[in-house]
Chains A and B, each alone.
Chain A
Amino acid sequence: KAGVTQTPRYLIKTRGQQVTLSCSPISGHRSVSWYQQTPGQGLQFLFEYFSETQRNKGNFPGRFSGRQFSNSRSEMNVSTLELGDSALYLCASSLVAGGGNEQFFGPGTRLTVL
């Protein structure tokens, strides 16, 4: 069974631009969560989608948004990029929603904002 895939793996953008990251969950998994990982703030929860609906949202500004498609693939978008958005963005999938379920993580997308 293929694992969680994220594209692209690396991305370089400049301040003010926007970016879209993609995540394909494990086949059969309907829940996708997104996390931001930085040296200073650690792992922080962004949002969770289940059956195309956002079920949970972390404490991030509205510049961060996401969506989920009918095939469970998910995208997250960051608009008006800031230097502080430089981070490793991790996607995790699970069979059902909720933090109590085992989450399988992808390798991440490393975003650098110049």
Chain B
Amino acid sequence: DTAVSQTPKYLVTQMGNDKSIKCEQNLGHDTMYWYKQDSKKFLKIMFSYNNKELIINETVPNRFSPKSPDKAHLNLHINSLELGDSAVYFCASSLSGRGDTQYFGPGTRLTVL
């Protein structure tokens, strides 16, 4: 059974389009995250939700909008895609009060043409 899953795994799209990435975890965790990994492999937090409430929102363009319909899901919607949005996006989850170990999904490679 997959613990943290993301769809799609690959996403190729044109500049200006709107796209969504979905994330689901079946670990019973209460906190979920989105990270962005750039072409140099550097990883940076974008958003974090705890029990469906936004707790971290780094300086991310407001074209990026996370949505958490329930504790097991955290989706990422991106409007008006730009070339610089090309990256690998990782979803992760953790259980607060348990050493904060985060479990990562397989990543979504977004390519904007």
Specify whether A and B are partners.
no
